[in-house]
């Protein structure tokens, strides 16, 4: 799944550092080509990784602006090829080699340790050389105006590998994952930022500490949205983006809710699936002290619908589905069609995230304001009904 797909998984990063003011494309091009992907099909290497063109995943050259630049967006892909040896196949060849070894040495019951290690490595290299690497790619879109980078994956491994390669490629530039506390801070003014800082439960300013110490943000936000969606609470655009401030939209939680809580036997998890009517199972779990760790969020505006599964701990988005992109193909060149699809997909994605940020902002204003206790009492009453 990538930038052209109607359903994607995404995580977002702030790009921190100062970009060169002159010859920016040359700088980008050199950085990407310096860590460009190199094929391992003609070798016995096990893995390879590097940058490739999003529109041509076999191409690692970025010598023209068309290859990676559209308007204010830089777009490219992370590619990783890996050879995998099926365990059953490896075991078969290893047993065969051991039998042949022992057939020549009837006095032995098993190969010596050193011989076994050499045999294992020899077979592994032989099978690797005979197997084709399996490719996988992850698309990236970097908004140069906002310094916001969207990685089209929510996999922790993909995020880690991307950050490592990005740091090696771009000198004096680094990425910071946008997690609940940092996303909240980016939406608030100075006064409300100070209020949120007072509620910060992290023991340090390290990202992992800010994530683990403030999981309450995602939990309370999802509970707030679940309760608000029940009564059809009205929401409006309140953050900058493509959509005009004040534009109304709807949002609610449905289809799947994941809850978790501690217990004597360790963490306990409850999954509530299917379209909900009165949310009886979820309310029962919430009454026992469990919290919402992830949920499917629906957003609707002018008969257009967005849908995604939100991870409350990290604020990563899985199965993010936007309204379908329809491009008129007749009389349109293939390159123009892909450009049109790119801009339309980015517009819809950013509009969905703008509405999500508006939801988060509305929650924060109430959470940090004077009427939060009234909202908690209303939620408690609803849970007990």
Residues 159, 225 within the same domain: no
Q: Are residues 76 and 106 in the same domain?
A: no
pLDDT at 152 over 90: yes
The arithmetic mean of pLDDT across residues 27-35, rounded, is 95
**Can you give the pLDDT at residue 105?**
85
Please enumerate in sequence order all residues whose Cβ is within 8 A of that of 207, keeping only pairs 6 or more positions apart, or say none: 176, 177, 179
Cβ–Cβ < 8 Å for 176, 14: yes
What are φ and ψ of residue 294, in 5° steps?
-160, 155
Q: Are strands 7-16 and 148-151 parallel, antiparallel or unpaired?
A: antiparallel
Question: Is the pLDDT score of 63 beyond 70?
Answer: yes
Residue 248 above 70 pLDDT? yes
The pLDDT value recorded for residue 127 is: 81
- Per DSSP, helices labelled H in 138-237 are 156-169, 180-187, 190-199, 207-212, 215-230
Q: Look at the block and give the residue holding tokens 């890996």.
A: 82
Q: Are residues 56 and 125 part of one domain?
A: no
Q: 12 and 108: one domain?
A: no
Greater confidence (261 vs 44) lies with 261
Claim to verify: residue 122 and residue 143 sit in the same structural domain: no
> Looking at per-residue confidence, does 336 or 158 come out higher?
158
With beta carbons less than 8 A apart as the criterion, state whether 41 and 181 touch: no
The confidence score (pLDDT) of residue 134 equals 86
Is 196 within a domain?
A: no
Average pLDDT over residues 291-317: 96
Do residues 141 and 240 both lie within one domain? no
193 three-class SS: helix
Number of H helices and E strands in the chain, helices first, is 11, 13
C-alpha–C-alpha distance, residues 356 and 333, integer Å: 35
Q: How far apart are the first and last CA of the chain?
A: 42
> Does residue 334 surpass a pLDDT of 80?
no
Q: Is the pTM of this model over 0.75?
A: yes
Q: What is the mean pLDDT of residues 138-144?
A: 96
Q: What is the pLDDT of residue 335?
A: 63
The answer to whether 32 and 173 are in contact (CB under 8 A) is: no
Determine the structural domain holding residue 35 and report its residue range. 7-83+132-177
Co-location of 121 and 225 in the same domain: no
Are 257 and 377 in a shared domain? yes
Same domain? 58 vs 41: yes
Alpha-carbon span 51 to 53, nearest angstrom: 7
In a domain, 352, yes or no: yes
Is the pLDDT assigned to residue 180 strictly greater than 80? yes
The per-residue pLDDT for range 79-99, each reduced to its tens digit, is: 999 888 888 888 888 888 888
Q: What is the pLDDT of residue 165?
A: 97
pLDDT, the chain, mean: 90
Q: Which residue has the higher pLDDT, 353 or 109?
A: 353
| Angle ∠(203,309,157) on CA atoms, nearest 5 | 60
Low-confidence winner among 56-65, 79-88, 171-180, 304-313 (lowest mean pLDDT): 79-88
Q: Is the pLDDT of residue 328 over 70?
A: no
- Mean pLDDT, to the nearest integer, of 116-145? 87
Has residue 207 been placed in a domain? Answer: no
Is the dihedral angle over the CA atoms 17, 22, 28, 30 positive or is it negative? Answer: negative
Same domain, 39 and 75: yes
Q: What total of structural domains would you count in the chain?
A: 3
């Amino acid at each position: 799944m990538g930038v052209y797909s109607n359903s994607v998984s995404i995580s977002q990063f702030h790009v921190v550092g100062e970009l060169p003011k002159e010859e920016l494309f040359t700088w980008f091009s050199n950085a990407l080509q310096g860590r460009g992907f190199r094929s391992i099909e003609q070798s016995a290497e096990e893995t390879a990784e590097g940058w490739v063109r999003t529109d041509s995943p076999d191409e690692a050259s970025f010598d023209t602006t068309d290859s990676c630049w559209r308007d204010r967006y830089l777009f490219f892909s992370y590619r990783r090829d890996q050879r995998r040896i099926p365990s059953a196949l490896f075991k078969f060849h290893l047993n065969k080699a051991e039998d042949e070894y022992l057939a020549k040495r009837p006095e032995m019951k098993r190969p010596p340790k050193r011989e076994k290690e050499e045999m294992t490595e020899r077979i592994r290299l032989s099978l690797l050389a005979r197997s084709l690497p399996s490719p996988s790619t992850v698309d990236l879109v970097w908004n140069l105006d906002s310094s916001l980078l969207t990685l089209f994956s929510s996999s922790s491994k993909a995020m880690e590998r991307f950050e490592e390669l990005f740091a090696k490629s771009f000198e004096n530039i680094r990425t910071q994952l946008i997690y609940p506390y940092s996303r909240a801070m980016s939406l608030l003014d100075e006064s409300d930022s100070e209020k949120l800082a007072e509620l910060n439960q992290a023991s340090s300013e390290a990202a992992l500490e800010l994530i683990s110490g403030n999981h309450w943000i995602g939990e309370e936000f999802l509970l707030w949205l679940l309760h608000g969606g029940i009564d059809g609470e009205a929401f409006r655009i309140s953050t900058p983006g493509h959509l005009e401030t004040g534009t109304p939209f709807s949002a609610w939680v449905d289809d799947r809710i994941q809850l978790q809580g501690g217990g004597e036997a360790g963490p306990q998890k409850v999954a509530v699936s299917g379209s909900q009517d009165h949310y009886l199972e979820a309310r029962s779990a919430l009454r026992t002290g469990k919290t919402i760790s992830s949920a499917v969020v629906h957003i609707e505006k002018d008969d257009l619908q967005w849908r995604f599964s939100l991870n409350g701990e990290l604020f990563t988005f899985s199965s993010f589905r936007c309204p379908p992109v329809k491009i008129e193909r007749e009389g349109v060149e293939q390159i123009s069609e892909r450009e049109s699809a790119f801009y339309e997909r980015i517009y819809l994605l950013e509009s969905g995230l703008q509405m999500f940020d508006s939801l988060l902002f509305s929650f924060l204003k109430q959470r940090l304001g004077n009427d939060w206790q009234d909202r908690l009492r209303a939620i408690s009453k609803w849970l007990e009904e």
